[in-house]
Amino acid sequence: MVTPYDVPASKFVEKLAKHLKENVDEITPPPWASIVKTGVHVQRPPQDPEWWYVRSASLLRKIYVHGPVGVERLRAEYGGRKDYGVKPEHAAKASGAIIRKALQQLEAAGFVETFETSGRRVTKNGRKLLEELAEEVKKEVVKGIPELEKYQRSG
């Protein structure tokens, strides 16, 4: 069985974002998504008009890999370096509202659930979706580079 651990994260997130956009009605960008910055460490809004789906897909993968995980830890993961001009740079967290809203949409879609007091984790439906898409990504990657087939686990 292939899991999101076994495939390249960038290709997996791209495939998952496309799936979320086309097949899941609960995942939709809020009205303010076109003008909002993703954190205090960035100067402009994202250039990609489909960034909401990419962020939601990335969150779902991160929760699968690191879960259960809370909003504060995810803010730190998506944060970056704040530029203070001539002063030294410091770490800054990402926007909590974006992460919270995306997690609420993923919960409404049935892919994520709140786990006791330690954050959120992936549900069985979410796990099933992620593993199916990981299988598809693996096939695409192996089709592109046939030599990789001998390094794959059998089963």
Read off the pLDDT of residues 30-89 as tens digits, 9 standing for 90 and up.
Answer: 999 989 999 999 999 999 999 999 999 999 999 999 979 999 999 999 999 999 999 999
pLDDT, greater one: 152 or 22:
22
Rounded Cα distance, 130 and 37, in Å: 28
Domain ranges of the chain: 4-151
Phi/psi at 27 (5° precision): -90, 105
pLDDT, greater one: 155 or 66:
66
4-151 is a CATH 3.60.15.10 domain: no
The H-assigned helical ranges of 70-119 are 71-78, 96-109
Instruction: Write down the pTM of the prediction.
Output: 0.88
Residue-averaged pLDDT of the chain: 90
